[in-house]
């Protein structure tokens, strides 16, 4: 993360760093909302209800009975309908269509909310020196995310009742990277003169990697519906480490039981590491930033346990995914604060 830093440049009469930062914070908030809606879409089994990728014409929902009948007929050709939802009514189909439509519409809105202000700031020469390449990279990544989304959906239209978990992991990870990139850049734009205070920063990359791995396995857990592999905690089938977990290397990403065990086991390590980091940052003067990190990891751990023992209800599952995004945001804020000071 330290490599993303841009040298401090005082504001000029043309450049508007604070305005650009506020715009990026709004985009980050929209991406967070996208992650939450994506969780609803996954948990309600809505993601495969729209079987075509109509970038322009798909902006509007079906407006006539004939249009609804056409969309429903296309869904009836999918494996999910044939294997899981045979006999579904048109009214029930409209319910799952709604969440996938909102998810895709929000993606289009985020694209416009990024591209149009970027063009305006660019033409007005309001972007501070050194930031254009980073903003173009975020724009490119956002455009790629739309393609990744369709690549994910396409994996579930034939021979499956859900999307491929590895593609879901890529889709979720990319969304969180975009959110983190917007947030980090906004913090860069809003910071003052370089700090000389000594701040702990060696924790940043190790914890970021640990958190990333946990989030990826969380995506596999969602993609495989592995959260329902056990509804007890802290034991699984009466054991802390159930026998026969690792029958093959492929079980690490394809066995719901093994994926569930790995995700809940890594949660202990992530929680312990986050609390240690938060305490150290608190002692170093991070204040509310440290509290945010400690609070986010505590809430996320508790939500994870509640989600499991209650059989993965939609509300708790969505809160768990949303809190993961908040944990990423808190980590970014703490990491940005840390790398601004002298290394320790």
Give which of 225, 257, 256, 181 is closest to 6, Cα–Cα: 181
Query: Most distant CA pair in the chain: distance in Å?
Result: 67
71/203 same-domain check: no
Residue 124 pLDDT exceeds 50: yes
Looking at residue 8, what is its pLDDT? 54
Looking at residue 89, what is its pLDDT? 96
Residues 118, 176: Cα–Cα separation, whole Å: 20
149/216 same-domain check: no
163/205 same-domain check: no
Query: Is position 151 within any domain?
Result: yes
247/147 same-domain check: no
Mean pLDDT of the region 93-112: 96
Query: Is position 106 within any domain?
Result: yes
pTM of the full structure? 0.92
Mean pLDDT of the region 232-239: 90
115/213 same-domain check: no
Q: What is the pLDDT of residues 157-179, one digit of tens each?
A: 988 899 999 999 999 999 999 99
Residue 184 pLDDT exceeds 50: yes
Q: What is the pLDDT of residues 262-277, one digit of tens each?
A: 999 999 999 999 999 9
How many domains is the chain partitioned into structurally?
2
Looking at residue 2, what is its pLDDT? 43
Q: What are phi and psi of 118, to 5 degrees?
A: -60, -45
Contact criterion met (CB below 8 Å) for 34 and 28: no
Query: Is position 125 within any domain?
Result: yes
Residue 128 pLDDT exceeds 60: yes
Residue 239 pLDDT exceeds 50: yes
Query: Is position 300 within any domain?
Result: yes
Residues 256, 260: Cα–Cα separation, whole Å: 6
169/142 same-domain check: yes
Residue range of the domain that includes 309: 195-344
Residues 37, 293: Cα–Cα separation, whole Å: 23
Mean pLDDT over each residue of the chain, to the nearest integer: 92
Q: What is the pLDDT of residues 25-80, one digit of tens each?
A: 999 999 999 999 999 999 999 999 999 998 888 899 999 999 999 999 999 999 99
Helix, strand, or coil here: 198? strand
Residues 226, 244: Cα–Cα separation, whole Å: 16
């Amino acid at each position: 993360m330290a490599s993303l830093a841009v040298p401090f440049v005082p504001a000029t009469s043309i450049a508007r760093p604070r305005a650009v930062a506020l715009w990026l914070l709004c985009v980050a908030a929209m991406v967070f909302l996208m992650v939450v809606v994506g969780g609803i879409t996954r948990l309600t089994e809505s993601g495969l209800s729209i079987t075509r990728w109509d970038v322009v014409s798909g902006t509007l929902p079906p407006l006539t009975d004939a249009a609804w009948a056409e969309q429903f007929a296309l869904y009836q050709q999918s494996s999910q309908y044939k294997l899981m939802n045979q006999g579904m009514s048109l009214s029930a189909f409209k319910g799952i269509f709604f969440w996938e439509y909102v998810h895709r519409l929000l993606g289009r809105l985020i694209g416009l909310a990024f591209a149009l202000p970027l063009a305006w700031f660019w033409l007005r020469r309001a972007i501070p020196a050194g930031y254009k390449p980073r903003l173009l990279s975020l724009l490119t990544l956002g455009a790629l995310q739309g393609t990744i989304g369709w690549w994910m959906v396409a994996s579930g239209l034939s021979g499956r009742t859900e999307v491929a978990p590895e593609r879901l992991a890529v889709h979720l990870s990319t969304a969180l990277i975009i959110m983190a990139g917007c947030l980090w850049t906004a913090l860069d734009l809003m910071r003052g003169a370089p700090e000389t205070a000594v701040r702990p920063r060696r924790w940043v990359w190790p914890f970021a990697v640990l958190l990333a791995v946990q989030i990826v396995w969380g995506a596999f857990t969602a993609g495989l519906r592995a959260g329902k592999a056990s509804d007890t905690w802290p034991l699984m089938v009466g054991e802390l480490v159930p026998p026969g977990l690792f029958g093959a290397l492929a079980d690490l990403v394809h066995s719901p039981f093994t994926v569930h065990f790995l995700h809940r086991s890594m949660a202990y390590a992530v929680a312990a590491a986050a609390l240690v980091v938060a305490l150290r940052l608190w002692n170093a003067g991070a204040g509310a930033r440290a509290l945010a990190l400690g609070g986010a990891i505590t809430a996320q751990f508790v939500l994870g346990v509640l989600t499991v023992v209650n059989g993965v209800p939609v509300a708790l599952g969505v809160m768990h995914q949303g809190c993961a995004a908040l944990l990423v945001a808190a980590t970014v804020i703490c990491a940005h604060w840390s790398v601004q000071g002298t290394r320790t």
